[in-house]
Structure 1
Amino acid sequence: MDESENGCTCGDAVRDLIFREARSQNRWQPRAVSDGLLREVYELMKWGPTSMNTAPLRLLFLRTAEAKEKLVPALAPGNVDKVRTAPVVAVVAYDSAFHDKLPFLFPHRPQAGAMFREDARLSEATAFRNGTLQGAYLMIAARMAGLDCGPMSGFNEDMVNETFFAGRTWKVNFLCGLGYGDPAGLFPRHPKLAFEQVCEFA
C-alpha cells in the first residue's frame, strides 16, 4: 500500500522534520537567521487556511540585542536566557482590526467586516483563534525551512503590548524563538497522549 492510500502523501522524512523528531528548543547555536529566510517562512505559512480568509496574524521579529532587551522586563525568569540567546524572537501577534482588510482578503463579500466591527466578542474570538492557527503554521513553515522553534508562554501580555504595540491594534499571542537549536539544551522527550485518550467517534 502506498502512502497516498494511507491518507498522507508525504514521506517519513518530512513527518519527522515537522513533528516526530522536531523539538522545542531552549538553547541556541550562535548562527544568524537572514531576513530572506524569514521572508521565505512567511511566504509559505501565509497559505494556511483561516476562517473567511481573515489572516489576523501579525509578526514582529526581534533580531537585535537591543530589541530583545526591551522584551526582558515582561518575561518570566525562565524565558530570559531563551530570548537573549535566540537569533530571532518572533512576537506572534494578531490584529484586532483584522476586519479592515477583509475587502481585499474576502473580495466576494467586501462588506463582511461590518459583522466584526459590530460584535466585539466575535471579533476578538476570531482574531485570537485564527491568529493561533497561523502561529502554528509559522512553526511548521520554519521547520520546513530548516529552522528550529522555541515557542514560549510566560510573559506579561500588557507589558509586551505596551512596549511594542502601544497605539496600535496588534496584540501579542505568544513568543517563539527561531534559529538553530543547541541539542545540549534539550530535555528528555516527554510522553504524548494516546489516540484513545484524546479522540472519540460520534
Structure 2
Amino acid sequence: MGESINLEKLDQRSREIIFTKARTANSFADTPVSDEELRDIWELTRWTPTSANVQPMRVLFVRTPAGKERLAPHMAEGNRAKTDSAPAVAIVAYDNEWHEEIPNVFPIFPQMRDDYVADLDGRHSTGRFSAALQAGAFILAVRAAGLAAGPMGGFDGPGIDAEFFGGTNWTTLMVVNIGHPGEDPWFERLPRVDVNKAVAWA
C-alpha cells in the first residue's frame, strides 16, 4: 500500500463563506460585476468532476440592459424584479452535442464519442447529470468569488433557448442572478432536514 495523501481542510471562515453562512440573494446592489469576476467564477467551475470528464455545461452571462430586456419575458413573474436588479445573470445551459468534445477531454478513450452518436437517451441523461454537477459547483464558485448567487428555476426554458440559443445545441438548465447583496436581500433562514432523517449508515 502506498502512502496516504493528506488533503488540506478549508478553514472555518472559508466554510462559512461557501456553505454555512452563504444565502440566496433576492435583491442586489448597483455595484457592477466585472468581466474578470465572471471569468474567475468560470475558472473555478471548470474543475468540477463530471462523468468521464465530459464537461457539458455552458454559460451565457447576460449583463447589458438589452440582454436583460430579452430575458425578462421568459422569467416567472416573481423572479423578474430580482433578475432586473442583478448586475449579471448567468444562463446555465448544457451542450446537447457535448460528446463531440470527448476526444479532447477524454483522450484515453476517444472512441467513447462514437457510442454516444446514436445513443440520444444516454447522451441526454449523461449530459444533464454532469451539467447538474457543474451547476451546483457554479453556485459555490460565485460565493468563492465574493459575490452572492440567486439560482432560480422559475423560467420558460424553451423560450430562453429560442431567444438566446437558436442555431446552437445549448439547452437551458438554470438561471442564476449574480452580484453584491442589495437592500433586505435575505429571507429568514429556513430549517434544514434533520440529520437523522437524511443520513444513514451501513
Provide TM-score, normalisation by structure 2: 0.94
Corresponding position of 1:130:
130
Structural RMSD (CA): 1.2
1:25-44 deviation line (CA, Å, top 9, x unaligned): 10001010110111111112
**Greater Cα shift, 20-29 or 179-188:** 179-188
**Per-residue deviation at 1:199?**
1.7
Identity of aligned residues (%): 35
Q: 1:14 is aligned with what amino acid?
A: S
Q: Does the 8 Å CA contact 2:87/2:179 hold for their aligned counterparts? A: yes
1:89-119 deviation line (CA, Å, top 9, x unaligned): 0000000100001100001111111122121
- Mapped to 1, the partners of 2:128 and 2:199 lie a distance apart of 24
Corresponding position of 1:18:
18
State the secondary structure of the residue aligned to 2:111.
helix
Provide TM-score, normalisation by structure 1: 0.94
Q: 2:136 is aligned with what amino acid?
A: A
**2:200 paired with 1:200:** yes
- Mapped to 2, the partners of 1:183 and 1:133 lie a distance apart of 31
Q: 1:114 is aligned with what amino acid?
A: D
Show the 5 A alignment for 1:1-202: 9-182=9-182, 184-202=184-202
- Mapped to 1, the partners of 2:117 and 2:197 lie a distance apart of 40
- Mapped to 1, the partners of 2:129 and 2:16 lie a distance apart of 27
- Mapped to 2, the partners of 1:194 and 1:116 lie a distance apart of 40
Q: 1:193 is aligned with what amino acid?
A: V
Unaligned runs of 5+ in 2: 1-6
Q: Does the 8 Å CA contact 2:103/2:111 hold for their aligned counterparts? A: yes
Aligned residues: 196
Unaligned runs of 5+ in 1: 1-6
1:21-61 deviation line (CA, Å, top 9, x unaligned): 10001000101011011111111211111010000000000
Q: Does the 8 Å CA contact 2:29/2:183 hold for their aligned counterparts? A: no
Q: Does the 8 Å CA contact 2:76/2:155 hold for their aligned counterparts? A: yes
Relative to its length, the structure with more helix (as a share) is 1
Corresponding position of 1:3:
none
